[in-house]
């Protein structure tokens, strides 16, 4: 996914664009650019790599008085991360920035090239500005040309376009990818892909809907829906108290977010657990009426929390639960029955693969629920109901605290469902709640454990691969541990059911194969232990994580005493997050903005 910003007004346009892009950089950071239209002429700057390169390039450039501008930070879909492929893209007298994918760009491009248009980049986006300028020639004004162009585009997009023909107008369109308009009491307008760039500048925000398009001037917002019908933009107050994430002395946002887990889990529990009952004010029990199955659908880390949830739903609520990788579910022509509750899980609420499956479930007439960390995101606005995780802004591309709060919500939701289905009695639910209340203290990072992991991580830098293994709900946790390591260390790692190793993967066992073994005392300990011993017998290097000492381990990460396997789950989650963090830091990687990744991907 990319990040786009726009501004029209009297303030320092360059600074507003750059600071806005800074807030969005975690969305994609392989190149960036801005274009500013002032007194009839454009100034445009682009740079490959992180935003600092663009800041360096624009050092001498200043803007004063009235101007308008657009900016972009890129996660490449079409065309390598080069300066030519960086946005904004130029036509003859216009510039465009875009987040999404234009699926019919090839045929539009071909037609434009046949008519003599020269393309500078390999991107799908460049076709928008040339198509617009082609339409300008046959339209009575630029807005008519813009509206015509939008109708000719297929795919997902959030677009901002500026043209010399209209020096005081910024054109915009939204379909699939997020786009917000921000205002305050002054005659100026702001655009952004999410609300963080608007905080501190705007008092109100409007979340554009799919199909919306229009233009703004300093004084006016002209908004049209997908049928071309003019409408009023609906604004809501923009809460300024959202913590603008600062590192606060930690080396990386990811490290800070690992240390924040005890607080955000407590926030996520707040007002939702009583002595013996789970309370979700945001849910109507009718949502579960006539429901015989739960289908969980997600991507990446959110998929691993969905997998973990399936164990909790079946074990405690006794309800059939299936899990889906969203990008697979999307085109598998799946059977969906109306007695299934469709649950989408997403930190951002914008991941296209998951968003599209939610649309499919709604179209098939299923009841839908989203577990999400961003209020007012596309999924929250689309689903019948939503439960917000309260992790706060998560800036590290590798998700940590969002995962922790997703698991917390799922444990609560399994108990909530168990009550509705009478699969657990009041005492059982009360005992679970007592354990749930202990989670914040069990995810507190102990200096001792962190120091221990810092020291042992030096032995895990150069092997030919990692196997993270666990049984039961510790299998999805093993998958998550492997993903964390892959995301930020670029080392090859796989998560595997411990019992499955002997059916093939154990062939890779030798001293250069690192096995990270999850050995919970309170869940299938002996079974898991014997699986690890099979690997140790074949000389794999074993790092065991447990509260029980394991003599066959080459390295041992001790977790604190716990009376419930779910508390062991959360303790081991922290150990896995710290292990991947410390290995990646030793390898000198940018942990917060790992190569080739983006915080959530708004294209399929």
Q: Which residues of the shown chain bind ligand BG6 in the complex (CB under 6 A)?
A: 299-302, 346-348, 351, 354, 397-399, 597-601
Q: Which of 2, 299, 372, 562 is catalytic?
A: 2
Q: Which of 189, 256, 367, 599 is catalytic?
A: 599
Nearer to ligand BG6, 192 or 433 (CB): 192
C-alpha separations of 289 from 286, 294, 341, 357, 367 in Å? 5, 12, 10, 22, 10
Tokens of 388: 């917000």
Find the shortest distance in angstroms from Cβ 300 to ligand BG6. Answer: 3
CB-nearer residue toward ligand BG6: 225 or 356: 356
Closer residue to ligand BG6 in complex, CB, 354/408: 354
**Distance between start and end Cα atoms, the chain:** 10
Look up 599 and say whether it is catalytic: yes
We find the least distance from the C-beta atom of residue 301 to ligand BG6, in angstroms, to be 3
Min separation Cβ 409 and ligand BG6, Å: 13
What's the Cα-to-Cα distance from 238 to each of 39, 184, 196, rounded to whole Å?
A: 32, 10, 10
245 versus 601: smaller Cβ distance to ligand BG6: 601
CB of 581 to ligand BG6, least distance (A): 14
Helical spans, DSSP H, in 421-524 = 426-436, 439-442, 447-456, 474-489
Least spacing, CB of residue 306 vs ligand BG6, in Å: 10
Catalytic site includes residue 395? no
From the CB of 393, what's the least distance to ligand BG6, in Å? 12
Distance of CA 54 to the CA centre of its chain: 24
The beta-carbon contacts of 19-22 under 8 Å, at least 24 apart in sequence, are 19/197, 20/71, 20/190, 20/192, 20/197, 21/51, 21/54, 21/71, 21/72, 21/73, 21/197, 22/51
For residue 601, the minimal CB distance to ligand BG6 (Å) is 5
Tally Cβ neighbours within 10 Å of residue 115. Answer: 9
DSSP 164: T
Find the residue with minimal CB distance to ligand BG6.
300
Q: Alpha-carbon distance 122 to 146, whole Å?
A: 22
Tokens (6 digits) for 45: 């700057």
Residue 380 or residue 519: which is nearer to ligand BG6 going by CB? 380
Give the three-state DSSP class for 259: helix
Q: Which is nearer to ligand BG6, 94 or 368 (CB)?
A: 368
Beta carbon nearer to ligand BG6, 399 or 417: 399
Contacts of 179 (CB under 8 A, 6+ apart): 4, 99, 158, 172, 173, 191, 192, 193, 208, 212
Residues designated as active site? 2, 599
């Amino acid at each position: 996914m990319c990040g786009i910003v726009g501004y029209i007004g009297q303030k320092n346009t360059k600074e507003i664009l750059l600071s806005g892009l800074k807030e969005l950089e975690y969305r994609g950071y392989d190149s960036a650019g801005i274009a500013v239209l002032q007194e009839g002429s454009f100034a445009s700057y682009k740079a490959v790599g992180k935003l600092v390169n663009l800041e360096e390039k624009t050092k001498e450039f200043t803007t004063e008085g009235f101007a308008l501008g657009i900016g972009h930070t890129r996660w490449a879909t079409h065309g390598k991360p080069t300066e030519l492929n960086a946005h904004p893209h130029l036509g003859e007298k216009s510039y465009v920035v875009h987040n999404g994918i234009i699926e019919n760009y090839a045929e539009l491009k071909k037609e434009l090239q046949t008519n003599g248009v020269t393309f500078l980049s390999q991107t799908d986006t460049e076709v928008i500005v040339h198509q617009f300028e082609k339409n300008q020639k046959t339209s009575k004004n630029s807005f008519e040309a813009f509206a015509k162009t939008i109708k000719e585009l297929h795919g997902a997009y959030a677009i901002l376009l500026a043209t010399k023909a209209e020096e005081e107008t910024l054109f915009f369109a939204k379909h699939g990818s997020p786009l917000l308009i921000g205002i305050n009491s002054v005659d100026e307008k702001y655009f952004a892909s999410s609300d963080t760039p608007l905080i501190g500048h705007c008092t109100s925000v409007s979340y554009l809907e799919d199909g919306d398009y229009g233009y703004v001037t300093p004084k006016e917002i002209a908004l049209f829906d997908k049928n071309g019908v003019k409408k009023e933009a609906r604004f809501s107050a923009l809460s300024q108290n959202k913590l603008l994430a600062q590192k606060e002395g930690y080396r990386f946002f990811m490290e800070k977010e690992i240390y924040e887990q005890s607080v955000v889990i407590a926030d996520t529990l707040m007002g939702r657990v009583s002595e013996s009952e789970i309370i979700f004010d945001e849910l109507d029990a009718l949502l579960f009426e006539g429901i015989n199955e739960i289908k969980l659908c997600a991507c990446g880390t959110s998929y691993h929390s969905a997998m973990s949830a399936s164990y909790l739903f079946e074990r405690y609520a006794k309800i059939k639960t299936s899990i889906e990788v969203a990008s697979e579910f999307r085109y598998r022509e799946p059977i969906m029955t109306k007695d299934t509750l469709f649950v989408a899980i997403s930190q951002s609420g914008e991941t296209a693969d998951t968003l599209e499956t939610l649309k499919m479930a709604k179209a098939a007439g299923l009841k839908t629920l989203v577990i999400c960390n961003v209020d007012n995101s596309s999924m929250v606005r689309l689903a019948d109901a939503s439960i917000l995780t309260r992790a706060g802004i998560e800036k590290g591309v590798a998700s940590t605290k969002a995962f922790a709060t997703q698991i917390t919500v799922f444990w609560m939701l399994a108990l909530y469902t168990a009550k509705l289905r009478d699969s657990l009695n009041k005492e059982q639910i009360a005992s679970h709640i007592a354990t749930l209340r202990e989670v914040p203290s069990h995810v507190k990072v102990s200096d001792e454990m962190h120091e221990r992991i810092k020291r042992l991580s030096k032995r895990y830098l150069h092997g030919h691969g990692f196997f993270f293994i666990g049984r039961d709900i510790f299998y999805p946790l093993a998958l998550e541990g492997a993903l964390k390591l892959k995301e930020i260390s670029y080392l090859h790692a796989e998560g595997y059911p411990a019992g499955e190793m002997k059916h093939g993967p154990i062939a890779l066992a030798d001293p250069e194969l690192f096995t990270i073994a999850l050995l919970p005392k309170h869940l299938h300990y002996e079974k898991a232990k014997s699986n690890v011993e099979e690997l140790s017998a074949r000389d794999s290097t074993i790092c065991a994580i447990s509260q029980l000492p394991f003599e066959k381990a080459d390295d041992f990460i001790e977790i604190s005493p716990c009376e419930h396997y779910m508390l062991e789950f959360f303790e081991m989650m922290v150990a896995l997050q710290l292990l991947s963090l410390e290995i990646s830091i030793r390898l000198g990687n940018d942990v917060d903005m790992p190569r080739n990744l983006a915080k959530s991907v708004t294209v399929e």
